[in-house]
Structure 1
Amino acid sequence: MATIIDGRKISSDIKVEIKAEVDALKNKGKRAPHLAIIIVGDDGASHTYVGGKIKACAAVGFEYTLMQFAESISEEKLLKHVHNMNTDEDIDGFIVQLPLPAHISVDRVTESISSEKDVDGFANENFGSITSNYPLLMPATPLGVMELLKRYEIETEGKNCVIVGASRLVGAPLALMLSKEGNATVTLCNKHTENLASHTKQADILVSAVGLPGLITKDMVKEGAVVIDVGTTRVKDDTKKTGFKLSGDVVYDDVAPLASFITPVPGGVGPMTIASLMINTLRAAQKNLL
């Protein structure tokens, strides 16, 4: 049976480490790092995620500002708020919670965020720096995956890593990070990939980041593989108080007996995304507070 990669524990460890660094800053007479969060509309999942980020800020000693806007806000008005965040010297980093309403361009908004404050790591400059010798603020979820691999001492060098899902948020940047930092051989699969199982069965490290429950079955996984499930989908479940449960891409109960390591959903990669956001905010603040 696989060793469970406990994202909640690693995330908690990281928060303790960050809090120690924040305390050290304060002891030197510096202010605490400051994260701002912009959320538009009333999407329940988004408000849950934002609540988790605020809770994390409190745990590590960050200041935070939450700005909530109606779904009807115009793109131009939202961009003005983004500009104000870019120029506010008391804000070290900020995020615009996705998804945004259909009338607002996600690309236009994320690209208007200053790369120095882009703690989600979405901006082109930060994305492009993955392949440089001087990486900037890294995309949060891939950074979280890399941190899990490091802290569980999972070797990546020379390994066959297969990533299912080539999104700009997870799959594409993670492929670059595993190749550049991890010295791995990476195969990046997308929705056009033919005979997906022929690729996944070659993986020493298999990452699925699609958001399609049940996509990865046991017949697609090599015995002894490390399985990282980034997919998180709300599935209707009347037995839960919330009315839904979170489901990953991997059929966990079937795949876990085959794998050497596996991340659960929830409790695997999810908490690491927030931990990475805290890491990036601290890094941005440290540059500002020199």
Structure 2
Amino acid sequence: MPCLKQPTHFQSLILLQWPLSYLAMCGRHSAWVRNWCAWTHLKNYFPITILKTKDLSPKHNYLMGVHPHGILTFGAFCNFCTEATGFSKIFPGITPHLATLSWFFKIPLVREYLMAKGVCSVSQPAIDYLLSHGTGNLVGIVVGGVGEALQSVPNTTTLILQKRKGFVRTALQHGAHLVPTFTFGETEVYEQVLFHKDSWMYKFQSCFRSIFGFYFCIFYGRGFCQGSNGLLPYSLPIITVVGEPLPLPKIEKPSREEVDKYHALYMDALCKLFDQHKTQYGCSATQKLLFV
């Protein structure tokens, strides 16, 4: 019988990536990391809170739209990646996962740190894995992505959502319920310097995004001294409102019309959620969500 060759060092590294890839998919939680006291200090700095409008049953899986992106997505991070605001007590039986850029999981230690908080890759295989293994999983996707970060300035409610329909198709394929969320105050904690699309700086930002996957934003907040500017965010309230889940049928190969139908229903639900709470959390009664 022919002898099997021993794998080379390079082949061994490739084989090692398979279990790591699956760990990145499932977002291995660590209760110890999610309960670090640092997250409580972060929550109290702004402060950050989460508001439940409806219960989420552990018998279903959920795909949650996170809006808006903001500069650093403080609200979604604190509410869904840590226990600082008491997610497990507010939504018992639900395991949260917040999806982020896939290339983070190629960096040793950073990968393990992210997985410990339940963060998963935003890649399609990772989301499919979570929505097809058991129930009680909630996957949060910042639908507007890095493009929305570049539009993050105070007093704006513009969301990149009009043509973002992939998350609806994924939810239909798995029969996952869609959950709209809106984080009030997310765009208020930093000021951002915006550049005209014809400027060299905007072209540099676009080039930077094509290489690294996110925009090079120039932003500022408060400094250590009173009245000074710096990189500390303004200590303003951040409130994430979790809306009522929208049940979806399970359709293995949804048509364009079916995706469009439930995408429109999701946008309507998000608008209603925003309108119901906007005056309570700092927006004017006439302010509307703008979808681009």
Q: What is the TM-score normalised by the length of structure 2?
A: 0.30
Q: What is the TM-score normalised by the length of structure 1?
A: 0.30
